[in-house]
Amino acid sequence: MVNFSYTIVGTGAIGGFYGSRLQQAGSKVNFLLNSDYQHVSHNGLLVESPEGNFTLPQVNAYRDVSEIPPSDVVVVALKTTNNHLLSKLLPPLIKDTTIVLVLQNGLGIEEEVAKIVGTQRVIGGMCFICSNKIGPGHIRHLDYGTVTIAEYLPNYQPVGITQKMRQLAADFESAGIEVLLSEDLLLSRWQKLVWNIPYNGLSVVLDATTEQLMADGEMRSLIEQIMQEVVLGAKTCNRLIPESFIEKMLVYTTKMKPYRTSMKIDYDLVRPLEIEAIFSNPLKIVAQAGVDLPRIRMLDQQLKFLKTNNRSNNSLGKGTNC
């Protein structure tokens, strides 16, 4: 039995995967599409996954938010580089009780979304997933899939576990997706950055997979030093990440298959990079407390240089989205 109806804003590697699984499990799901609209409204969605391939021959495909009926949950699954669109996309999708679930990377995003839709409906979600859109309406899920969710309050005050979170989790779990409930959104966001900042940043700057980075002693210590800076950043927000979390992330990454990070894939395909959300926003928040994170700032500067001086030939083809 499902709780909610859903609207997926951004039907790509993330939104396409979770939305398809929710529909497959019985939820009513609307999909907002842009370039894939024609293809998907005629052919539906195709998901390849080690957990089983499946097709949804018929989906509720839209390309105009004004035509989508309000649903219980709006899932924001755009790249953060498109978040300037949200002030137009979200308001028509909201009814009184609508929950907005933000499945994006980086810091400070819920605050921006709350300015558009109001505070008491925003939930942040952090996806640990390797998945990629490899063609129109064609999602390839490779590994993982767990979502950590936490409710947003102004100034990221911890909320604890709420009824809304439990209902959301129940829907996702009916769809076979593991959900972790977090009492503190800001802590979870910083924890996700412990992985995202070093691996996304260095994979682009050094043109490397996670495996190449972890095989190199110099890189392993740099990654650890960068993770320490993220932990320090969290501390300036009064969020304590234990030392053991760093070791856990290092071990976890060593055991992962050799993935290209999502930012590396974006870079290789000469797409916009999520530098603001993952690097600049955390630096800005920490700088307000008078704290400098020199290695993370240097990564931010290097990435911004590479964004305007992209070395890719746009010839590297498809990749894995982590």
Calpha distance 132→138 (Å, rounded): 9
* CB 241, min distance to a copy of itself, A: 20
* CB 219, min distance to a copy of itself, A: 5
In the complex with a copy of itself, the residue whose CB is nearer, 46 or 265, is: 265
* CB 135, min distance to a copy of itself, A: 29
In the complex with a copy of itself, the residue whose CB is nearer, 119 or 310, is: 310
205-212 contacts, C-beta under 8 A, 24 or more apart: 205/299, 205/302, 205/303, 205/306, 207/264, 207/311, 209/258, 209/259, 209/260, 209/264, 210/253, 210/256, 210/258, 210/259, 210/261, 210/322, 211/256, 211/257, 211/258, 211/259, 212/258
Calpha distance 156→294 (Å, rounded): 25
Instruction: Identify whether 192 is a catalytic site residue.
Output: yes
The catalytically annotated residue of 192, 235, 248, 257 is 192
In the complex with a copy of itself, the residue whose CB is nearer, 81 or 312, is: 312
- Using CB under 8 A, list all residues that contact a copy of itself: 202, 205-208, 212-213, 216, 218-219, 221-222, 225, 294-295, 298, 300-302, 304-306, 308-309, 311
Calpha distance 138→40 (Å, rounded): 9
* CB 240, min distance to a copy of itself, A: 23
Calpha distance 286→281 (Å, rounded): 9
* CB 277, min distance to a copy of itself, A: 17
In the complex with a copy of itself, the residue whose CB is nearer, 79 or 295, is: 295
In the complex with a copy of itself, the residue whose CB is nearer, 180 or 298, is: 298
Question: Sign of torsion, CA 61 143 185 298?
Answer: negative
Question: Catalytic amino acids?
Answer: 192
